[in-house]
Amino acid sequence: EVGPTMVGDEHSDPSLMSFLGATKRNVLGNNFCEYYVNDAPRIVLNKLESCGYRVVSMTGVGQTLVWCLHKE
């Protein structure tokens, strides 16, 4: 997969979003904000691993891939 990668919602930790280089946006028609980065998921996952997160599970939903992570 290539970017962009969704990395959080409006309630996500701002310091973590800053570390990932994420930008907050509101897509027309949505009543919520989301954070995204232009990096591929593997880059984001490597950054999160360096912060103590690990992948617990992964699944596909339509054309979307979803990773569930847990911080040690």
- Look over the chain and give the mean of its residue pLDDT values, rounded to a whole number: 93
Which of 3-12, 23-32, 46-55, 61-70 has the highest mean predicted lDDT (pLDDT)?
Answer: 46-55
Band of the pLDDT at 12, cuts 50, 70, 90?
A: very high
Residues composing the chain: 72
pLDDT in tens, 13-40: 999 999 999 999 998 898 999 999 999 9
Q: Give me the long-range contacts of 46-55 (CB less than 8 A, separation at least 24).
A: 47/19, 47/20, 48/20, 51/16, 51/19
Which residue did the predictor score with more confidence, 60 or 2? 60
Query: Residue 30 is encoded by which pair of tokens?
Result: 């949505």
Structural domains in the chain, CATH included, are: 5-71 (3.30.1410.10)
Task: Note if the bond before 4 is cis, omega within 30 degrees.
Answer: yes
Q: Kindly report the pTM of this predicted structure.
A: 0.85
Tell me the DSSP string of 4-37.
-EEEEETTS-HHHHHHHT-EEE--TT-SS-EEEE
